Amino acid sequence: MSEVVVSLKNVNIYQSGSLILQDVNFNVEKGEFVYLVGKTGTGKSSLLKTLYGELTLTNGTGDVVGFNLKDMTWKTLPFLRRNLGVVFQDFQLLTDRNVHENLRFVLKATGWQDEKPIEQKINDVLSKVGLQNKGFKMTYEMSGGEQQRVDIARALLNSPKLILADEPTGSLDPETSDEIMYLLFQIAKEYGTAIVMATHDFMVVNKFPSRTLTTEGGRLVSKA
């Protein structure tokens, strides 16, 4: 049997007291790549925020990488997030330090202490995203595509079972966007990391076809 890393059943998603999505039901399995598409404002980001615990789950049942979303507290939330990787459109990298120190900061913040494993992990994730010789570079010196690769490397630091990517190609040119998509599909296939990617770029979806969930009319609709 395949390992299920996301399972939502009969979930209603609220933002600021308003019902955004109702009766959401879907599973994501290990190593699966799933698109989350829909017009701006139809609930894609709210769904992602529910999956990483920023929005509280009040209706239905939700399980993400073995954590019950209804049981989340401020004490348990960090443990959920250590098992997730999140990739943002605007990178959210620290501009006052180089790539290596950006990654080291995250590891230290999530409980890593011994320098040797820290160095090994940083080298490992930079190698996976094709930046093995770029650890010394300041993030603001890098191209958008390189910064997005650093963002993906950061998401891989704690060997997550699931990566949530919110418009990761939104600010990239088409050629660089293709490179990032090849990389994400490679990560899903080679490392068994499930990826849920929110996007409204249908050119990307058509060029790199995969299972697609669509937010429309307050519902989540599955489309092959």
- Cα distance between residue 145 and residue 160, in whole Å: 22
Buried b (16+ CB within 10 A) or exposed e, 196-220: bbbbebeebbeebeeebbbbeeeeb
In whole angstroms, give the CA distance from residue 127 to residue 14: 39
| Residue 207 placed within a domain | no
Instruction: Give the domain extent around 155.
Output: 89-159
pLDDT along the chain (224 residues), means of 10: 90 91 95 93 90 91 95 89 85 88 91 92 94 92 91 92 92 90 94 94 93 93 74
The Cα-based distances of 69 to 210, 213, 219 in angstroms read 26, 20, 20
Any domain includes 111: yes
Buried b (16+ CB within 10 A) or exposed e, 61-100: ebbbbebebeebeeeeeeebbbbbbbbbbebebeeeebbb
Q: Is residue 95 part of a domain?
A: yes
Q: Is residue 139 part of a domain?
A: yes
Number of domains in the chain: 1
Q: Is residue 205 in some structural domain?
A: no
- Whether residue 148 lies inside any domain: the answer is yes
pLDDT of residue 1: 64
Question: Reduced to 3 states, what is the DSSP secondary structure of residue 209?
Answer: coil
Residue 173 in tokens = 């040119």
**What is the model's pLDDT at position 224?**
53
Is 144 a member of any domain? yes
Residue 35 in any domain: the answer is no
> Residues 112, 118: contact at Cβ < 8 Å?
yes
